[in-house]
């Protein structure tokens, strides 16, 4: 039964990602950020409902993990994301989970159910996803200490290359 539910969740994740990609491919007017671009101020909120911004991490690298509660591959990355955060504790890098769920209760319920600690934010509007050209998740992004986009797509937390890459960053 559990396997059937997980399989269905994976299929839904794929379906929604494909539908979203199709919709975005029909709209050629959207501007997508690229490496070197300044990260705009997006409408994001934390788990208390307070408005937050990546600007608060100026001077640090920011590893962003974009996820949703309904995305099985995203949920599989959570333990690896937690481990990366532990491995780089005290370093010049912040780890931020950015959720793209439509409903707050799904996001907050996932945080509680999966015992997700650390910095977890949620998008308020689709500007974040459009700016980064996010057409499927999970998706990871790296910002530099200057607030610029360093990598528009970086490897997932489960990929050993991620830890290696982050360890080699200048001033980490």
Pairing of strands 93-99, 61-67: parallel
Residue 54, Cα to own-chain centre: how many angstroms?
12
pLDDT-based confidence at 27, cuts 50/70/90? very low
pLDDT in tens, 81-124: 999 999 999 999 999 999 999 999 999 999 999 889 999 999 99
pLDDT-based confidence at 26, cuts 50/70/90? very low
User: CA 57, CA 12: separation in Å to the nearest integer?
Assistant: 34
Mean pLDDT over 7-33 rounds to: 53
User: CA 118, CA 80: separation in Å to the nearest integer?
Assistant: 13
Class of domain 2-167: alpha beta
Hey, what are 33's tokens? 């950020």
**Cβ neighbours of residue 100 closer than 8 Å, sequence gap 6 or more:** 66, 67, 68, 122, 123, 128, 129, 134, 137
Cβ atoms of 149 and 61 closer than 8 Å: no
Residue 153 pLDDT exceeds 50: yes
Residue 112, Cα to own-chain centre: how many angstroms?
18
Share above pLDDT 90 across residues of the chain, in percent, rounded to a whole number: 77
Number of Cα atoms under 13 Å in the Cβ half of residue 143: 26
Residue 45 pLDDT exceeds 90: yes
Please give the angle made by the CA atoms of 24, 138 and 2, to the nearest 5 degrees.
115
- SS3 at position 138: coil
Report the run of H or E that residue 62 belongs to, with start and end.
strand 61-67
pTM of the model: 0.82
User: CA 17, CA 156: separation in Å to the nearest integer?
Assistant: 17
pLDDT in tens, 127-141: 999 999 999 999 999
Nearest Cα residue to 109 out of 68, 143, 77 = 68
CB atoms within 10 A of CB 125: 10
User: CA 53, CA 56: separation in Å to the nearest integer?
Assistant: 6
pLDDT-based confidence at 169, cuts 50/70/90? very high
């Amino acid at each position: 039964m559990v396997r059937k539910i997980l399989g269905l969740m994976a299929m839904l994740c794929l379906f929604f990602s494909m539908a979203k990609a199709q919709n975005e491919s029909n709209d050629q007017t959207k501007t997508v950020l690229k490496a070197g671009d300044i990260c705009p101020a997006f409408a994001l909120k934390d788990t208390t409902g307070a408005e937050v911004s990546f600007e608060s991490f100026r001077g640090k690298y920011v590893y962003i993990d974009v996820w949703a509660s309904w995305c099985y591959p995203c949920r599989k990355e959570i333990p690896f994301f937690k481990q990366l955060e532990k491995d780089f504790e005290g370093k010049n890098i912040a780890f931020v989970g950015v959720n793209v769920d439509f409903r707050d209760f799904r996001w907050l319920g996932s945080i509680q159910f999966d015992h997700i600690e650390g910095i977890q934010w949620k998008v308020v509007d689709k500007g974040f996803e459009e700016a980064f050209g996010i057409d499927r998740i999970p998706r990871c992004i790296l910002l530099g200490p200057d607030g610029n986009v360093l990598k528009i797509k970086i490897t997932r937390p489960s990929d050993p290359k991620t830890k290696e890459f982050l360890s080699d960053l200048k001033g980490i």
